[in-house]
Amino acid sequence: MRPLFIAGNWKMNPPTAEAAVALAQGVKAGVGQEAGVRVAVCPPAVFLHQVDAALAGSPVGLGGQNMHGKTDGAYTGEISGAMLNDAGCTHVILGHSERRHGMGETDAQVNSKLHAALAVGLIPIVCIGETRLEREADRTEDVITGQLTGSLAAVSAEAMPGIVLAYEPVWAIGTGLTATPAQAQAVHRFIRDWLANAFGDATAARVVVQYGGSVKPDNAGELLDCPDIDGALVGGASLKEADFLGIVRAAQAVTAKGKP
């Protein structure tokens, strides 16, 4: 069984460093010293240093929400992988649907960032997923294949286990809708099969593939129990300490009993 990984994407929240530190401290206290599962939080970049200090001595990882594909230069408003390292980051989210569909980010850009992240030792969380129109047009597998092919271009089989994938059905993000466990598992199985074809069975078996789409404490256990779902990339629920820790506890329970 692959280690379950719960990551919180705080997006453009909360509004102050004080609130960010308080949330981080709450997560740290709730997780404790022996999480039993992998946990990380991804606050806005301006709070990374403060949150890193708040998480000191905790197994909770720290992630950025984006980065540039270049190491430095005239890229106003951008953040490099080295800067994320300096702020204490262990992870970085790449290609989130809000950047792909809201800001026009391409697979090629995600791929550039992915290689830059790997070069500085960050663990990339690469997001993929279809829109509602694409799902209704029965194009889910085509969309996923294109995003995987483009985003993971020139990645070696040796490097692939150091990359986390996050399947996020765009139609289930911030809408209150959630893919059923059967729907989510079907796409995760497709992703696992694609990885096996691209990198081999042994590598595919090691890659963590999270689910991200309105995950909450009351549906986390059933989703995480699916054989090919290895965790969750949590949005809104990660801003509420009790909800995020509820999802972590669901992951701990699945880990304790094992997958069916």
Q: Any catalytic annotation for residue 115?
A: no
Q: Amino acid letter at 254?
A: V
Contact 170, 101 (CB under 8 A): yes
Contact 165, 124 (CB under 8 A): no
Q: What is the DSSP code (8-state) at residue 152?
A: T
Tell me how far apart the alpha carbons of residues 119 and 82 are, in angstroms, rounded to a whole number.
10
Neighbour count for residue 85 (Cβ, 10 Å): 16
Helix residue ranges, H only, 32-175: 48-54, 81-86, 97-103, 107-119, 132-136, 140-151
Catalytic residue among 96, 105, 130, 188: 96
Tell me how far apart the alpha carbons of residues 251 and 260 are, in angstroms, rounded to a whole number.
14
State whether the Cα torsion 91-145-183-199 is positive or negative: negative
Q: How many residues does the chain have?
A: 260
Tell me how far apart the alpha carbons of residues 104 and 115 are, in angstroms, rounded to a whole number.
20
Catalytic residue among 98, 105, 130, 168: 168
Q: Any catalytic annotation for residue 105?
A: no
CA angle 57, 27, 251 (to 5 degrees): 105
Contact 66, 94 (CB under 8 A): yes
Residues assigned a catalytic role: 96, 168
